[in-house]
Structure 1
Amino acid sequence: MSSLDDFDDEPADQAVQALRACNAAPRFAAELVAGRPYRDVDTLVTRAEEVARSLPWDEVLIALGAHPRIGDRMAGDSTEAMSSRTEQSSMTGADDATREALLDGNRRYEDRFGHVFLIRASGRSPEEMLAELERRLGNDEDAERAEVTEQLAQITALRVKALVS
């Protein structure tokens, strides 16, 4: 898709498929498609964030399943894989110690919370992501779920904007 008009006019099943690369939670795509047409890109992006923030935890977990670990390169040429590689592009400059610390932190995080560590990587250095990972390891379950949901909303907004821009 290349524009908001294309998104608004696309058959529903194709729009849902495109949105799944932005957020894999089924409710997310269904709600955004049901809200078409959108007045402008900002309205669509705002709605995408609202829907992502309102997802029940079981749907957030579905969305998390489509995200690689920080520092892992997602293979393939799917829209989601390309988005992930772009978002994590700062990792190409990470030194070995930072990469190793992220690998260790990812393991500890997954052992503690049972899912991948999710963070909006776009605009963040590897060191910033590592610091956030270490900080969030101290969260309780409820606080971490809230942070994960917020990070998912931010990632979703970036991807939806890219989809229609």
Structure 2
Amino acid sequence: MTSSASPGLARFNSSDAPTAAELLHEVCSSSAWGATVAAGRPYADAESLYAASDAAMAKLTAADLDEAMAGHPPIGRPKPGDPTSNKEQAGMAGASEALKAEMLDNNLAYQEKFGHVFLICATGLTGEDMLAAVKERIGNTPEQEREIVREQLGKINRIRLARLVEEEGTSA
């Protein structure tokens, strides 16, 4: 292969607009983010795609962030049949029932305070890590939390984009 683009990235770059939009929606539910990233195609390499994702994330409005967060299930309650959220929240899978119950209580308190799910890049974190994070972050102001959520979404998007560009088979 003469290009540095992986087969998955090459497929994404050459996808028709509806397919690209669908693939990006699986990464992030923000339509503004998806439109911006799709408009930047073709990407020479994964790093260019990640940089475009980061730049698009930085420009999202509060409403765009709300739309992006709406695509994420609460920690400890991944969407049934959704292998992505199950994989990302694997650290909660082996947690004790007591930890899961405490996480649920903290999720609800967080959601009551901020009006949206507690969002964290859960990949590689244990249930204890996630519980400690929600307990720490519930003390934040809404403004502080909005920026932390933007950062966490950016991390999640990079992980999901990496999966997209590394896939060997057809994604859509």
* TM-score, normalization by structure 1: 0.93
Instruction: Determine what percentage of the aligned residue pairs are the same residue.
Output: 36
Secondary structure in structure 1 of the residue aligned to 2:27 = coil
d(CA) in 2 for partners of 1:73, 1:116? 12
1:17-64 Cα offsets, whole Å, 9 max, x none, are 110010010111111111011010121122212212321110110111
Q: Is 39-48 or 9-18 further displaced after alignment?
A: 39-48
What is the aligned partner in structure 2 of residue 126 from structure 1? Answer: 127
Show structure 1 runs of 4+ deviating over 2 A: none
Match of 1:49 among 54, 71, 78: 54
Larger-gyration structure (1/2): 2
Task: Give the aligned residue type for 2:67.
Answer: I
What whole-Å deviation, never above 9, does each CA across 1:76-118 have from its counterpart, x for those lacking one? 3xxxx22111101111111122111100000100110111100
- Residues 1-165 of structure 1 mapped to structure 2, 5 A cutoff: 3-76=8-81, 81-165=82-166
Aligned partners of 1:50 and 1:153 also within 8 Å = no
Which residue identity does 1:92 align to in structure 2?
A: A
SS at match of 1:37: coil
Does structure 2 retain, via aligned residues, the 8 Å contact 1:46–1:157?
no
TM-score, normalised to structure 2, is: 0.90
The DSSP-based 3-state class of the residue aligned with 1:3 is helix
Q: For structure 2, which runs of at least 5 residues remain unmatched after alignment?
A: 1-6, 167-172
1:97-156 Cα deviation digits (max 9, x unpaired): 211110000010011011110000001111011111000000011001011111111111
- The Cα RMSD (Å) is 1.0
How many pairs does the alignment contain? 160
Structure 1 unmatched ranges of 5 or more: none
